[in-house]
Amino acid sequence: MERKMVTLVINGKEVTVPEGTTILEAARQAGIYIPTLCHDPELSPWGGCRLCIVEVRGWKELPAACITPVRHGMVVETESPAVRHARYTLIELLLANHPEDCLTCERTGSCALQDLAYRYGVRRTRFEGEKRNYPIEDSNPFIVRDMNKCILCGLCVRVCSEIMGKAVIDFAYRGVRTKITPPFELPLEKAGCVFCGNCIAVCPVGALFPKPMWGQGRHWEVKKVKTVCPYCGTGCSFYLVVKNDRVIGVQSCPEAPVNGRWLCVKGRFGFGFIHHRDRLKMPLIRDPFLFAKVTWPTALGRVARRLREVKEKYGPDAIGVLASARITNEEAYLLNKFARAVLGTNNIDHCARLCHAPTLVALREAFGSGAATNPLAEIPEADFILVIGSNTTETHPVAAIQIQKALRRGAVLAVIDPRRTEIASRAHYHLQLRPGTDIALLNAMAHVCLQENLWNQEFVIYRTENFAAFREAAMQYPPSLAAAITGVPEALIVEVARRYARAKNAVIIYTMGVTQHTCGTNNVYAIANLALLCGHVGRKGSGVLPLRGQNNVQGACDMGALPDYLPGYQAVTDPSLRAKFATAWGVEIPDHPGLTATEMFEAAAEGRIKALYIVGENPMVTEADTGLVKKALENLEFLVVQDIFLTETARFAHVVLPAASFAEKDGTFTNTERRIQRVRRAISPVGEAKPDWEIVTLLAREMGHPWDYSSPAAIMEEIAQLTPIYGGVSYERLEVEPEGIFWPCPHPEHPGTPILHQENFARGKGRFHPVHFAPPDEQPDKDYPFLLITGRYLTHYHSGTMTRRTPLGFYQETLLEMNPQDMAELGIKPRDRVLISSRHGVLKIEATPNSNLPRGVVFATFHDAENPINTLVGHRCDPRAKIPAFKGVAVRIEKAVR
Amino acid sequence: MGEAILEEVVRSYRGRPEKLIAALLALQRHYGYLPEPALRTLAQELGVPLSKVYGVATFYAQFRLKPRGRHTVCVCLGTACHVRGSEQIFHALKRELGVEPGDTTADGRFTLEVVSCVGACSMAPVVVVDEETHGRLDPEKALALLKKY
Ligand code: SF4
Ligand code: SF4
Ligand code: SF4
Ligand code: FES
Ligand code: FES
């Protein structure tokens, strides 16, 4: 739709803008400054502060530029004497009841009110206002609220409700007593605040401030380094605020490509681990019972010698490497090279095994690529969003912001989840299925589309294959049958299927609720089938988005930290690809796929794996069947762990190597959108810690391979040469393309590929895979009548080694969440200790009611090493992807006698 | 009984955020004030954030968030009263009633309030009980006053 253009004159300059533009927007486009206090381009207009008033020739009043649309022929003055005078008075009024403590205010020098007073020459106020006298609110470790300084611009109120969907705070009272507050003056932590701190990011004055930065330094004393968040795969960027080689805080970076100013609590407040006293600062050797601090040459010498010995005695396949989804691409690449070229084994894997291994298998076979098809910013372009097994507001909070944005634009949201999560409660449709019955549900949705002729015939004919077989399978799942299996009402299944099929643009977002089952791979096939059937792939705003868990799990997969793939998903079984790497690396590459992470632990427990090199992972807490993992680690002849803390896993090591954190090194992370972004060194490594890429390089050298990487940039050059999807990536380019680069980017001139499968699928045609529902392995029965689902909380990350060493430790406990009626029936009161047992282990834990859980389902997180919930999870795996069933363990719950 | 009215209000306005003020008026008419638990239920059922409910309930003067006593004791702390010792009167009343301004005694008899100037400066210091203005008080006289209600 072409909008009519309108021409007006601002400060004597002719400006032409589309009809409906505000005077403020028009002025900004023309580079003309108009002050604002309550306006924000990403929030709804309000027009409350009046600072943006301008003079329009012929108008009696001075209109607020931020809410007044332009008209043809308007003549606007932005700094006329009348305007300046009015602004002067407005600023005086604001200062009248503002505390006069700019000298000690944290925002001094970066405060909008100060700047305005300066600009308009307001030295003191003529008005003798009553100063407010509210106590400063700082009862939580994240946000300090000083409402005496608040200028009531309402930006925080709008961020909290419009962006976050939380509406924790609002205006209350009136007249001079007007104040922004949570209801009933509750402290934020009791009012449902999620401490995203996005209200801080918009507050123009010192009324809201991040507590960890309080008193840490003036804003002109610090250095700001733009880098990428070390937590989840959303891939937000922000500034690390550095003073005297210490990270003192995190600040929003408005140019951040994925997230703009918005962050979640982990990104904004989860940095305290960097300088935590527990950081490993020296290499450690266990000799024979206690760890002793040693020098780098001693430690590296020992590791090299022991690995060589194991290799000589038992062969290379007796060694395994567990890479990390948290290290950089360059480091993951070097670990893949270290395993394959130095050790000579394909036994390399990482924790993607435990999250999206089924996606790698199934989406790859269906579409040709196991990665998300579209950028997150396209979620709001969809008119229908189907979220499956994703607790998005807690696990990918900033991705959830995009869903919230879509909702504000009128998109329809359906959520498939056994739990009534927050995103489910915001949805138009919540399909509360029985755990592990997704295939029946998704097949039935396909059935509806086929039956009612809602499927995209053109797309299916021209762009897919194997439709007939799929059709036959899907037709065996009428909604009535699916309703019986899943417990979701038939009419709801039909309605949601119709909505999905009829949408112009639709996205499916899914995570661990889909993959962490013994049928995880088939679940993903079922999703891909539905998307293919309705043709919702390969367009702007239409696609399938598996949200990746860790900051660089996408990159670790891309870089070949997988037993069956060399970097760039080049199969180790393909002789020509092997030959390419053999030439580049100067060694033969073993031709058979290696062991997966889950298999490595089994093999170690059985004595087939003798040595493990574990980098930045904590399987003692995160793997299924903790008992088996422990046995495996104890069984090893040699274990070297490289990490930033002495984790539960590192305690079993013979040698521990201290790694540098994300703040201490350069590199790249690839987020869930396939966007490659630059990670920047902000401080020097603490103690004698070294970046992982340096450690691996030194180790390779120690083992007789003349690696000579001088920097991560040099490693990226090698990656680009050998990995077609990264072929055009270089540090020079990332420096001038702050948006990052979306792979596939095969050569330096290629712009990158934000949307996959546009003309053709990566594999040519999209392939249907008929799948059938099979009852989950673990079903509740007489002995184990409950079904346990494991998951995460917003405030913690995985084994919590980082988050629990930050103010996020404020949220400590892992509790067993149960339906209140189930609790009552078992005579369990809130905070009672219960004994929970599965066929694989037992655990004592405190119980707490959660009425959003259906009866018969219980939930707990795995963050807490003191409550190692994974002891209960069996090691039965999906046959293809080898992922354990974290989302459905039959358990028994009894009141614990102490 | 209180629950019944809440249920009725919720039934008539469920899912209709625009009816917030009407719902608040109905509740206040019944309870004489707006109890916090009722506001929480209302917020959930109407689909209005609790912060917004609180904002509206505190914006309009006719809404009260605390139960009212049978009598309102209102101490003037305006300038004229202040220079004539209203502070001491205020403290004496506060001690005697055992409540903060805005709060009500446990027996529901008195609600304590403060104002600045009721326009009776010539009689300062002043205490207004319900509609009745009492002037030229001292702490002792003020305490004696309570006995009359
Ligand atoms: S921190 Fe986030 S949730 Fe809390 S009040 Fe601010 S914007 Fe709202
Ligand atoms: S706290 Fe800050 S953002 Fe919120 S209304 Fe006050 S000045 Fe504006
Ligand atoms: S959403 Fe993820 S990437 Fe963004 S700030 Fe939070 S943890 Fe970091
Ligand atoms: S910025 Fe326009 S009224 Fe506040
Ligand atoms: S100051 Fe108390 S009545 Fe005026």
The total number of structural domains in chain A stands at 5
Beta pairing partners, A790: A860
Asked if A183's CB is within 8 angstroms of B54's CB, the reply is yes
* Residue A336 confidence (pLDDT) above 60: yes
Ligand 5 site-directed mutation target among B89, B114, B115, B117, most atoms within 8 Å of CB: B117
Structural domain includes residue A227: yes
Q: How much is the pLDDT for A819? A: 94
Calculate Rg over the CA atoms of chain B. 19
Return d(Cα B66, Cα B80) in angstroms, integer: 29
Structural domain includes residue A723: no
pLDDT tens-digit readout, A608-654 = 999 999 999 888 887 777 888 999 999 999 999 999 999 999 999 99
Calculate Rg over the CA atoms of chain A. 29
pTM of the entire predicted model: 0.90
Same domain, A472 and A386: yes
Structural domain includes residue A122: no
Same domain, A182 and A171: yes
Same domain, A259 and A299: no
- ipTM of the complex, rounded to two decimals: 0.84
- For residue B79, give the ligand 5 atom closest to its CA: 1
DSSP letter for each residue of A580-615: HHHHHHTSPPP-S----HHHHHHHHHTTS--EEEEE
Same domain, A369 and A504: yes
Same domain, A626 and A709: yes
Element (H, E) at A320: strand A319-322
Return d(Cα A49, Cα A34) in angstroms, integer: 13
Q: Is B145 in the pocket of ligand 5 (CB under 6 A)?
A: no
A332: confidence class by pLDDT, cuts 50, 70, 90? very high
How do beta strands A412-416 and A429-431 pair? parallel
Note the Cα A389 to chain centre separation in Å: 15
Structural domain includes residue A110: no
Domain boundary among the residues A500, A516, A546 is at: A546
Domain boundary among the residues A531, A546, A561 is at: A546
DSSP at A224:
E
pLDDT tens-digit readout, A153-199 = 999 999 999 999 999 999 999 888 899 999 999 999 999 999 999 99
A1: confidence class by pLDDT, cuts 50, 70, 90? low
Structural domain includes residue A746: no
Mutate which: A170, A178, A426, A852, vs B, most B CBs within 10 A: A170
Tell the residue number behind the tokens 């393309």, with chain if given: A737
Q: How much is the pLDDT for A878? A: 78
Same domain, A386 and A412: yes
Asked if B55's CB is within 8 angstroms of A172's CB, the reply is yes
Omega within 30 of 0 (cis) for the link into B125: yes
Asked if B51's CB is within 8 angstroms of A191's CB, the reply is yes
Structural domain includes residue A516: yes
Phi, psi of A766 (to 5 degrees): -70, 140
Same domain, A265 and A167: yes
Q: How much is the pLDDT for A898? A: 56
Same domain, A454 and A535: yes
Same domain, A63 and A190: no
**A763: how many CB neighbours lie within 10 A of its CB?**
15
Q: Is A250 in the pocket of ligand 3 (CB under 6 A)?
A: no
CATH number of the domain that residue A844 is part of: 2.40.40.20
Return d(Cα A156, Cα A167) in angstroms, integer: 10
Q: What is the pLDDT along chain B (149 residues), one digit of tens a residue?
A: 457 888 888 888 998 999 999 999 999 888 888 999 999 999 999 999 999 999 999 999 889 888 888 898 999 988 889 999 999 999 999 999 999 988 889 888 999 988 888 888 898 899 999 888 999 999 999 999 888 88
* pLDDT, mean over chain A: 93
Q: Which of B19, B16, B34 is nearest to B5 (CA)?
A: B34
CATH number of the domain that residue A47 is part of: 3.10.20.740
Tell me the H-state helices in A147-251: 155-158, 198-202
CATH number of the domain that residue A292 is part of: 3.40.50.740
Q: How much is the pLDDT for A889? A: 87
* Residue A864 confidence (pLDDT) above 80: no
CATH number of the domain that residue A453 is part of: 3.40.228.10
Same domain, A524 and A661: no
Protein residue with its CA nearest to atom 8 in ligand 2? A153
Q: Answer for the pair A639, A306: CB distance below 8 angstroms, yes or no.
A: no
- Which residues does A contribute to its contact with B (CB < 8 Å)? 161, 167-174, 181-184, 191
Asked if B51's CB is within 8 angstroms of A168's CB, the reply is yes
Ligand 1 site-directed mutation target among A199, A202, A393, most atoms within 8 Å of CB: A199
* Residue A90 confidence (pLDDT) above 90: yes
Asked if A182's CB is within 8 angstroms of B55's CB, the reply is no
Q: Answer for the pair A169, A156: CB distance below 8 angstroms, yes or no.
A: yes
Span A11-18, average pLDDT? 96
* Residue A517 confidence (pLDDT) above 70: yes
* Residue A813 confidence (pLDDT) above 80: no
Structural domain includes residue A52: yes
B56 to chain A nearest CA, in Å? 7
Q: How much is the pLDDT for B1? A: 44
State which residue of chain A sits closest to B34, comparing Cα positions: A184
Q: Is B74 annotated as a binding residue?
A: no
Span A822-830, average pLDDT? 93
**Least CB–CB distance from B54: residue in A161, A170, A174:** A170
Span A733-745, average pLDDT? 95
* Residue A745 confidence (pLDDT) above 50: yes
Same domain, A488 and A600: no
Q: How much is the pLDDT for A623? A: 75
Q: Is B114 in the pocket of ligand 5 (CB under 6 A)?
A: no
* pLDDT above 90 as % of chain A: 81
Q: Answer for the pair A418, A854: CB distance below 8 angstroms, yes or no.
A: yes
Return d(Cα B74, Cα B126) in angstroms, integer: 9
Return d(Cα A413, Cα A499) in angstroms, integer: 10
Tell the residue number behind the tokens 């990158």, with chain if given: A752
Same domain, A372 and A302: no
Structural domain includes residue A100: no
Domain boundary among the residues A546, A569, A585 is at: A546
Q: Which domains, and CATH codes, for chain B?
A: 3-59 (1.10.10), 71-147 (3.40.30.10)
Domain limits for position A526:
357-546
A146: confidence class by pLDDT, cuts 50, 70, 90? very high
How do beta strands A570-571 and A565-566 pair? antiparallel
Q: Is A61 exposed, middle or buried (0-12, 13-18, 19+ CB in 10 A)?
A: exposed
In chain B, residues with a C-beta closer than 8 Å to the C-beta of A181 are: 51, 54
Span A345-362, average pLDDT? 87
CB pairs below 8 Å between A and B: how many?
37
